[in-house]
Structure 1
Amino acid sequence: MGEQKRKESSNNEFIFGKKNYKFMLIGLGFIALGFILMSGGGSDDPNVFDPSIFSWRRIRLAPALVLIGFGIQVYAILLNPNKDSKS
């Protein structure tokens, strides 16, 4: 009898709500964009220095986007999906 109730209560229930998953995808997008902006700038010849690795985009913007993405992920995990936003 106890097993029957457990099966009924755990049927099609996710840990997070739809809103949580939406914020998680947004956070993953920020993180992916940050890593994409960080990439590149290398030189084919190891004897030639390429100063483009110190550009504003790679030093400031991309790490900021990654950190914002991690912040959004933390918010998505802590967001209460059962809380009614209308009240």
Structure 2
Amino acid sequence: MKIDWFVACKVAYPRPGQQGTGLWPASVAHAKRLGGTSAACGELTTTMKKLFEVPFPFAGENCRACLVAVSEERRARTQGARHVAVREGSA
């Protein structure tokens, strides 16, 4: 499964029941992509923990501004794909 947006947070702890280095958010989860230094909401993530294996949104407390930004971006991408399919189908 490709993770488009992953979680970045200020505090993380080892995942319950998992051995190894897997972490889980213990603070508000922000949406982050590879590259860049900020979350979808614009907050800097340079000092945050990056949880590359945890997809955003996660089943906990998520940043509301990140939720809005990610959902708008996904909606725009989906609508763009529909427009391309309609144009290709009508040709």
- The structure with the largest strand share of the pair is 2
- The structure with the largest helix share of the pair is 1
Where relative contact order (Cα < 8 A, 6+ residues apart) is larger, the structure is: 1
Q: For the pair shown, which has the larger CA radius of gyration, 1 or 2? A: 1
TM-score exceeds 0.5? no
Could you state the TM-score of these two structures normalised by the residue count of structure 1? 0.39
Could you state the TM-score of these two structures normalised by the residue count of structure 2? 0.38
